[in-house]
Amino acid sequence: MDHSFFVQALIYLGSAVLLVPLSKKLGLGSVLGYLLAGILIGPSVLGWIGNDGADIMHFAEFGVVMMLFLIGLEVEPQLLWRWRTAILGLGGLQVLLTTLIIGFIAHMIVGLSFNQSLSIGLIFAMSSTAIVLQTMTENNWMQTVAGRNAFSVLLFQDIAVIPILALLPLLSPDEAAGSAAQNHVTITQHLEPWARTLVVLGAVGAIVIGGKYLTRPIFQMVASTNLRELFSATALLLVVAITVLMSLVGLSPALGAFLAGVVLANSEYRHELESDIEPFKGLLLGLFFIAVGASIDFELIAQRPGLIAILVLGVMLIKLGILAFLSRMFRMRVDQFLLFAFALAQVGEFAFVLFSFAKDQHIFSTELFNLLMVVVAASMALSPIFMLVMEKVLMPLVVKKIPHRNGPEADAFEESNPVIIAGYGRFGSVTGRFLKANGINTTVLDANSDRVESLRKIGIKVYYGDALRIDLLKAAGADRAKLIIVALDDSAQVLQLVNTVKKHFPNMHIIARAHGLDDTYELMDAGVLHVFRETIDTSLRAGTEALKIMGVRAYTAQRAHDLFLQHDEKSLKKMAAARHDKKKYINAMRNRIEELETLIQNDIHERSIHTHTGKDMSEIRKEDEETVEEED
Amino acid sequence: MNKILLVVAHPALEKSRNNIRLIKAAGNVENVIVRDLYELYPRFSINMAKEQSLLEQSDVIILLHPFYWYSIPALMKQYLDMVFTHGWAYGKEGDKLEGKILFNALTTSGTRESYAPDAHNRFPVSAYLIPYNQLAYVCRMHYLPPFVLHESGKADASASARHAKQFKQLLKLFASGQPDLAQFKELEYLNDYEVENVL
């Protein structure tokens, strides 16, 4: 076995485990932690990893693809349509203005050739999807207006990469333009433009149609095997397949993955997919950031510190200015505008690919290329610091509180319902229907794939998945939900889930379904305030109806019902405390029954003694009936 | 023929012989519908549409209740609040009760004499009934004096029966046709009307 792989893994993982928690603890966010880890182990500091950083970066870019897939899962198609102004308007203008202004400066002031300036303008217009989205998600900013708009711009940039890749060869000074780079082998490059368009459209269509009709039976089949790892493998396979397909036809894999995510956003397997892909994405993104950190050429920076500082800050400030202008134009609130502009001010990872491609087209000399790459890497590394300055210094000046979670004007970016229902059997389904009828949205999880399938058929949005898993709960929005209703069929699982929720999501209220007395006690011991025995209400209602049939008036029967229930719940606590001592328990049980009888009898009796005559009602009534009969 | 709606509210009707008897007596009159609120809505969820349609079909509406704390029992208040709504009972478009007759039929343990300025209850019964009087005015109804049973607790079987009989005769009078409202309005209690003479 190749030991060097493990040594490499040791270095990457070790540096990440060491620095990321530290960085998070210092409030600097995970991205900066990874970047620092990369710088630390990179050639400039410790030199533990050599120049293979670039290769690793290519590999780790797959993390970005996964991230876009995950984001796609949370964007329903209608949402995308509603964002069209932001995507086309905001995104289009951002790319256009940045290209023009940076290109103009490069051409007129720095004195580069027109083609070089245009390339640089286009490439610098790109922002880093990885850094922006990671930071935004980490801080719960995705659901704000700024988060949504930043995402729209990134989406447009993702799309823009395709025409830029097509344009760069035309800017090449070579006569033999179009001699595509080796690492960019596509099946479409020898085709006529119209045929290429057709193939691209076909691939997109394949993702949409395949995602809509093919995935469900496959997932269902895999889910019915009950092998978790097989489901994870299927999920990974899906993303890898899209990446391969997209690369073959020359489209951005990230874009394809995003599209597939959108198609699957309504699927019942959405949360399961999310929780399966999430850890891979996290690891690969971390690796990606490390690679970026490692690729910063500090030697070059040391040689020309002034120039590079001016370039990096210049580019970022220009981008910032354009973004600020756009956010005012699109009438964002001042806090949102800060968030939006600072988030997107860096140059993104697309620049690595595009600059490399441009260099292969001989647009840049090696020297200029190296300089540009340093600027890109440094701007990415500075980005978290920019965000930090914005968040800690500027933001407090304009608003008291940073917009956490959904601002009132924001579209829900991802499904984040206030209530999660775990288990949609005969208990959960009634509760769920009741909440729905009252306009409260719920996210429903059920581990029975047959039930999920049939509920979906009648139009109830149920997600397949085992609610006992923390990652799945997270994907279902447990971090943001206000309440979880634990209505699983199995009482041991109810208790297990309650404990999981208490431990990992302590802010959620818990309503738990109990089956008998034993698990009621256990749930009470676990600290659940709202325990509902599944049969008590129904049995009591049946009893109340029986009273009515026996001639008791409805209101009196209702009072007896309420009294019984109140007392029963009160004595439940006493019995829970006494239950480990058999003798005490039996005593408590007996007391409960006796007390209850006295209580209800008193209620009836108190109101039945005729206050004025002191006669018992039954006597009076007898008297009365006799008289009335005489009268008639 | 007039249709009569007898709206009853007594949280422990099974223990009130007077009210039971009044309801029984009323039930024997043609064209009387009884709404026993505490039996129909033990959880206070009143079916507004149903009650409104019954009210629309009636010409005379009687609120039968014990005089709890000089007022109506909780559920009857809930009934008035939920059913006599703006746009239906009153307000610009609210004319569904216009011209109908409304009065209270109540039982109280106090004597008639105690409802006087220098006596224990200090005010006449009609003073305590101002809210319903005004409700009728706002809904453009005719409000009539109450039908009262005093000393309800002490009323023995025969007194109670007499009272019920009088109630029945009154209801028959209302049901039969056009009662002389002006004449009624001058009375302190509807009880004071010599029904037997008319019939």
Task: State the CB neighbour count (10 A cutoff) for residue A453.
Answer: 16
Name the strands in the sheet holding A419-422, side by side, starting at the edge strand that comes first in the sequence.
A462-464, A442-446, A419-422, A483-486, A509-514, A530-533
Q: A282 and A378, same structural domain?
A: yes
Q: What pLDDT is stored for residue B43 in this prediction?
A: 94
Neighboring chain A residues of B24 at a CB cutoff of 8 Å = 628
Q: A503 and A392, same structural domain?
A: no
Q: Which of A55, A19, A47, A44 is nearest to A34 (CA)?
A: A19
Beta carbons of A555 and B11 less than 8 Å apart: yes
Q: What pLDDT is stored for residue A455 in this prediction?
A: 81
For residues A191 and A146, which has the higher predicted lDDT (pLDDT)? A146
The pLDDT-based confidence of A3 (bands split at 50, 70, 90) is low
- Interface membership of B128 toward A (CB under 8 Å): no
Which of B:14-43 have CB within 8 Å of A? 14-15, 17, 20-21, 24, 28, 38-40, 42-43
In a domain, A38, yes or no: no
Across A79-88, A372-381, B39-48, which has the greatest mean pLDDT? B39-48
Q: Which of B38, B154, B158 is opposite residue A553, by nearest beta carbon?
A: B38
Cα distance from B22 to chain A (closest Cα, Å)?
A: 10
CA distance A253 to A64: 9
Task: State the CB neighbour count (10 A cutoff) for residue A584.
Answer: 14
Q: What is the pLDDT of residues A351-407, one digit of tens each?
A: 887 888 888 888 888 888 888 888 888 888 888 888 888 888 887 777 654 444 333
For the ranges A45-49, A182-186, A284-288, A554-558, the lowest mean pLDDT is seen at: A182-186
Q: What pLDDT is stored for residue A403 in this prediction?
A: 44
Comparing alpha-carbon positions, the chain B residue that sits nearest to A560 is: B42
Task: Specify the residue for token string 């060097």.
Answer: A4
Given a cut of 80, whether residue A620 has pLDDT beyond it is: no
Neighboring chain B residues of A611 at a CB cutoff of 8 Å = 109, 153
Cα distance from A618 to chain B (closest Cα, Å)?
A: 8
In a domain, A337, yes or no: yes
Q: A580 and A515, same structural domain?
A: yes
In a domain, A41, yes or no: no
Q: Which of A608, A612, A628 is opposite residue B21, by nearest beta carbon?
A: A628
Comparing alpha-carbon positions, the chain B residue that sits nearest to A630 is: B161
Cα distance from A573 to chain B (closest Cα, Å)?
A: 27
Q: Which of A384, A287, A306 is nearest to A345 (CA)?
A: A384
Q: How many domains does chain B have?
A: 1
Containing structural domain, residue A447: 419-606
Beta carbons of A624 and B21 less than 8 Å apart: yes
- SS in 3 state form for B59-124? CEEEEEEECECCECCHHHHHHHHHHCCECCCECCCCCCCCCCEEEEEEECCCCCCCCCCCCCCCCC
Given a cut of 70, whether residue B26 has pLDDT beyond it is: yes
CA distance A191 to A250: 12
Q: Which of A553, A557, A624 is opposite residue B17, by nearest beta carbon?
A: A624
First vs last C-alpha separation in chain B? 15
Q: What pLDDT is stored for residue B70 in this prediction?
A: 95
Helix (H) or strand (E) holding A269: none
Beta carbons of B109 and A628 less than 8 Å apart: no
Neighboring chain A residues of B38 at a CB cutoff of 8 Å = 553-555
Q: A269 and A144, same structural domain?
A: yes
CA distance A249 to A116: 27
In a domain, A532, yes or no: yes
Beta carbons of A628 and B15 less than 8 Å apart: no
First vs last C-alpha separation in chain A? 108
Q: Is A380 exposed, middle or buried (0-12, 13-18, 19+ CB in 10 A)?
A: buried
Q: A442 and A388, same structural domain?
A: no
| One-character DSSP codes across A107-120 | IIII---HHHHHHH
**pTM to 2 decimal places:** 0.60
Helix (H) or strand (E) holding A626: helix A617-631
Beta carbons of A553 and B154 less than 8 Å apart: no
CA distance A253 to A256: 5
State the DSSP code for A561. H
Q: A589 and A469, same structural domain?
A: yes
Q: A284 and A201, same structural domain?
A: yes
State the DSSP code for A106. I
Comparing alpha-carbon positions, the chain B residue that sits nearest to A616 is: B15
Q: What is the pLDDT of residues A134-176, one digit of tens each?
A: 888 877 787 778 888 898 898 888 878 877 877 887 887 765 5
Q: A337 and A210, same structural domain?
A: yes
Q: Which of A512, A528, A495 is nearest to A431 (CA)?
A: A512
Q: What is the CATH number of the domain that holds A442?
A: 3.40.50.720
Arithmetic mean of pLDDT, A238-265: 84
Q: A432 and A387, same structural domain?
A: no
Neighboring chain A residues of B75 at a CB cutoff of 8 Å = 555
Name residues whose C-beta falls within 8 Å of residue A28's C-beta, 6 or more positions apart in sequence: A384, A388
Q: Which of B11, B13, B158 is opposite residue A627, by nearest beta carbon?
A: B158
Neighboring chain A residues of B168 at a CB cutoff of 8 Å = none
In a domain, A35, yes or no: no
For residues B171 and A328, which has the higher predicted lDDT (pLDDT)? B171
Structure tokens belonging to residue A151: 């995402």
Q: What pLDDT is stored for residue A180 in this prediction?
A: 44
For residues A442 and A181, which has the higher predicted lDDT (pLDDT)? A442
Q: What is the CATH number of the domain that holds A132?
A: 1.20.1530.20
Containing structural domain, residue B112: 4-198
**Is A446 in contact with A464 (CB distance < 8 Å)?**
yes
In a domain, A30, yes or no: no
Question: ipTM for the complex?
Answer: 0.86
CA distance A255 to A244: 12
In a domain, A349, yes or no: yes
Beta carbons of A623 and B38 less than 8 Å apart: no
Q: How many domains does chain A have?
A: 2
In a domain, A405, yes or no: no
Q: What is the CATH number of the domain that holds B107?
A: 3.40.50.360
